[in-house]
Structure 1
Amino acid sequence: MHTEGQLAPESATEARRSYAELAGAARTVTRETAKAMGFDREEYAERVTDDVRSTARDALFASLLEVRVGDREAFEAWRADFDGDVRVMGSNDVPNVAWHVVPFGADGPPTRAAGDESVTAVAVAATFQDEPTAAMATLRRTVFGRVYRDVIHADPVETGAHTAGPPEDDEDDGTEGGTDAAAEAEESTQ
């Protein structure tokens, strides 16, 4: 068994905080992608909306979720010791499993925290035959859509989920599209 990924929020508040911290990265990804597609400032302002930036941040967050990967035997051994609800997607007839644990549960109010006695931790698992990368990607998207999206967007003010406007005009350094130094400096102070 091994673990991949970086985000394993222990509470809804921690999930929202991690999401908020991805604002700069999402802004940079959307800006650089738009540059690569040849968008000028006007087209950028028209097409790269708050929803586009929010979607980029959603995808970044999901792609960073911690996932455990192992064979069926390792998963069943882990499952026997897990004090929570386990939801498995896929077939019982395949040899491998990828799973993600949500300590603060997957149902009910999104403000519940780990350690709350009324909270039942949940693990969401996906079985797979030979493609761990595809299984992890599917699992991450599923967990984000079924659990984290509601938790994160329950408090868009705290996460800044829908507050990122178009980037400030870059200073012109003689290159097409200007320099990103000003935007990077802005991002590093947030």
Structure 2
Amino acid sequence: VGGDGWAYDIGYGGLDHVLASGRNVNILVMDTEVYSNTGGQSSKATPLAAVAKFAAGGKPTAKKDLGLLAMGYGSVYVAKIAMGASDTQTVRAIHEAESYPGVSLIIAYAHCIAHGINMAKGMDQQALATKSGHWPLYRFDPRRTAEGKNPLQLDSKAPSIPLRDYIYNENRYTVLTQTDPAVASELLNAAQKYVNEHWKKLEAMAAEG
């Protein structure tokens, strides 16, 4: 079990070594999209348009897609979960990962005080993250390939709300609308475009026969 700073960034080399090992190891990444334990610094998990330490003007690049990188091995069980969006999918993914006879990687949305939210609304934000397409839910199970099935299953629907309806509930995004509205608007448009394109990519992958 580790955070996103470890998994996406400073410990990625070690994580990748484990992913490639083929051993029966279960990995859970608690993804807050920022270095939470050291004060909220930007990491490779920080999303486009978010403000964090070392990204005070809004992060201009997209979040590293750890899930897709792990899927590339073809032998790793990969799931992206958010309990606030679907507790059923969360439990199913954890059960499948535990039973998988190889490396499993679960990436879990973890709301954080560094997001600048009322933490009592954390589960609501998880649901909005999925509805907006920022945090799609999926499971990639290599065992399905042996059954002649696509290993990738999308567990959430296409984005049903604009990204702004999710991100502008969080101070890590809204602060830029106050300090530099023009840049905030530009980054919002770029982030929305990325979300749309990323969803289309996942849909295409899940539709492959």
TM-score when normalising by structure 2: 0.28
TM-score when normalising by structure 1: 0.30
